[in-house]
Amino acid sequence: MSNSTLTYDKIGVISSTLCMIHCIITPFIFLAKVCSISCCSDAPVWWQIIDYLFLVISFVAVYYSTKDKSLDWLKIFFWITWFFLFITIVNHTLEIIYLNPNLIYIPAFLIIILHLYNMHFHKCHNKNCCPE
């Protein structure tokens, strides 16, 4: 594992943490506006775009963090978790089916945990140092 992988893990942790903060504060920001103007009770488009910005940053961090991994289960879990995050964000935007809005915290939290696990327990300097 190279030092750049550790950097992408840090980016992933920061991005996922900021994403969770963004998701947590959204209801409180727009709750104050609910009574003032009925057309603005939903989040504005620019605020929803931030979801996709975090999703792209998360994709890049997961891609580079898993690029040279020798542990297949970690790669798979990273990508399943990212895909779950993608589905929850897209579903939240398009409202395809009803999902509890708090469901988005699960993949965001799991991605943070995976990046932290990767940073602290898989500090390999080459592809052959980690057992499968």
- Per residue in 82-96, pLDDT (tens digit) is 999 999 989 988 889
Confidence (pLDDT) at 92: 85
Query: Considering all CA atoms of the chain, what is the largest pairwise distance in Å, rounded to the nearest integer?
Result: 60
Nearest-angstrom CA–CA distance, 126 and 96 = 44
Q: Examine residue 107 and state whether it is found in any structural domain, yes or no.
A: yes
Residue 123 pLDDT class (50, 70, 90 cuts): low
Q: Examine residue 31 and state whether it is found in any structural domain, yes or no.
A: yes
Nearest-angstrom CA–CA distance, 109 and 8 = 16
Measured CA distances, 84 to 46, 74, 109, 127 (Å): 23, 15, 12, 28
Q: Examine residue 127 and state whether it is found in any structural domain, yes or no.
A: no
Q: Examine residue 126 and state whether it is found in any structural domain, yes or no.
A: no
- The mean predicted confidence, pLDDT, of the chain is 76
- Per residue in 17-57, pLDDT (tens digit) is 877 777 777 666 665 555 445 455 566 677 778 889 889 88
User: Which structural domain range is residue 77 located in?
Assistant: 3-121
| Number of domains composing the chain | 1
Q: Examine residue 86 and state whether it is found in any structural domain, yes or no.
A: yes
Q: Examine residue 132 and state whether it is found in any structural domain, yes or no.
A: no
Q: Examine residue 108 and state whether it is found in any structural domain, yes or no.
A: yes
Q: Examine residue 23 and state whether it is found in any structural domain, yes or no.
A: yes
Nearest-angstrom CA–CA distance, 125 and 3 = 8
Residue indicated by tokens 């929850």: 88
